A = this chain, B = another copy of it.
Amino acid sequence: MSNNTFGKSFSLTTFGESHSTCLGGIIEGFPANIKIDYALLESELERRKSSSPYSTPRVEEDKVKFLSGVENDISLGTPISFVIENKNIKKQDYDNLKTLFRPSHADYTYFCKYSINSSSGGGRASARETVCRVVGGSLAKQFLSQFDINIESEIESIGRYNYITQREEVEEALKQAHEAGDSLGGVIKCTIKNTPKGLGEPIFDKLSALLAQAMMSIPSAKSFEIGDGLESCKRFGSEDIDHWNCDFTTQTNHSGGVQGGISNGMDIVFSVGFKPIASIQRIRAINPQGEITEIENNGRHDCCNLFRARVIVESMAALTIADLIKRAK
């Protein structure tokens, strides 16, 4: 199982750099005889695009083409491969970066690793690859709908403000970031409802551990909490216990639906923190000789990537659960 693959029984393998002609992937383990829901796929891809006046001005068409594994819209049970064309590449935006490493970007670390710099846009480090995760996640969601498993997400905070209770402060901060060519991050909370009991594999493939890997693999992710997370860590044990009801549900859900790494039937609740992206207007980049220059960073940038991150978080959750369900059979 390589680093380009997520999942063992229901898996997604992706390929493509942000400025190659295509991105794409292969989904393996999708059962045969399921009618593909293209409408769901399209809406999921749409959610990944700009949804706020302050989000990315970069608009991709994101038309998915299935190359195999589907015949007459029904899955064959064989690997489903897909490609998505990159139609809106502006290579020249990145021209001044050819021999420069931007701060807090992956340019330098990729150079150290591969001794070659895919000339534009961060290559395989770019968040563009997440479009493939959404395609895989959409198929995973279709698979999960047979079991009535439902995945929802919401923005918990942007910057230092709670998104629900401090909406005015949030709007003001976003406006400030946009005008200054700056950026903001925040926290996304995700809930998985109707998970079967007993899902997850002990020791190293605990449900919480696999969700953590899935979420922390998303570009810009900096934190992961399950259940009450850091809040639980502040309590006494007596305050943190989820007491039983007679029907095996619990009165509270501090644990977030997981015990000993295995689901107990309650909602699985977790949150993911995203740092503000480093693609801001003015940056001080370094060249291979160690010389530092201030440049204008002209690529298209999000001032806040949380709006598009929700569907990526849900997609990774769907892939994680789909894989565990197949493994549990």
A209 within 8 A of B: yes
Q: Which residue of B lies closest to A120 (CB)?
A: B71
Q: Answer whether residue A88 sits at the interface, using C-beta atoms and an 8 A cutoff.
A: no
Minimal beta-carbon separation of A1 from chain B (angstroms): 6
Q: How far is the CB of A236 from chain B (nearest CB, A)?
A: 5
A119 interface residue per 8 A CB criterion: yes
Distance from A64 Cβ to chain B, minimum over Cβ atoms (Å): 14
**Contact call A106/B259, Cβ cutoff below 8 A:** yes
**CB atoms of A68 and B236 under 8 A apart:** no
Most buried by B among A248, A262, A277: A262
Q: Is the CB of A216 within 8 A of B209?
A: yes
- Select which of B104, B112, B202, B215 is within 8 A of A124 by beta carbon: B202
Q: Which residues of B contact A180 (CB under 8 A)?
A: 238
Instruction: Quote the shortest CB–CB distance from A328 to chain B (angstroms).
Output: 8
Q: Is A122 an interface residue (CB 8 A)?
A: yes
| Residue total for A at the interface (Cβ-Cβ under 8 A) | 139
Q: Which residues of B contact A211 (CB under 8 A)?
A: 216
A68–B15 Cα distance when bound, in Å, is 7
Most B-side CB within 10 Å, residue of A109, A246, A292: A109
In the assembly, what is the distance between CA of A104 and CA of B241, in Å?
A: 6
Could you tell me the distance between the alpha carbons of A255 and B276 in the complex, rounded to whole angstroms? 11
- Among the 9-residue stretches A46-54, A74-82, A146-154, the one with 4 or more Cβ atoms under 8 Å from chain B is A74-82
**Is the pair B109, A233 in contact by a Cβ cutoff of 8 Å?**
no
Q: Is B203 in contact with A3, judged by CB distance below 8 angstroms?
A: yes
User: Given known contacts A71-B20, A113-B77, is B228 in contact with A225 (CB within 8 Å)?
Assistant: no
CA distance A4 to B203 in the complex (A): 6
Q: Is A29 an interface residue (CB 8 A)?
A: yes
Q: At the interface, yes or no: A164 with Cβ under 8 Å from chain B? A: no
Are A244 and B203 touching (Cβ within 8 A)? Answer: no
Residue A222 at the chain B interface, CB threshold 8 Å: yes
Q: Are B234 and A160 in contact (CB under 8 A)?
A: yes
| Contact call B74/A116, Cβ cutoff below 8 A | yes
A105 to B274, CA, bound (A): 31
A21 within 8 A of B: yes
Check A223–B225 contact: CB distance below 8 A: yes
In the complex, residue of chain B having the shortest beta-carbon distance to the beta carbon of A225: B223
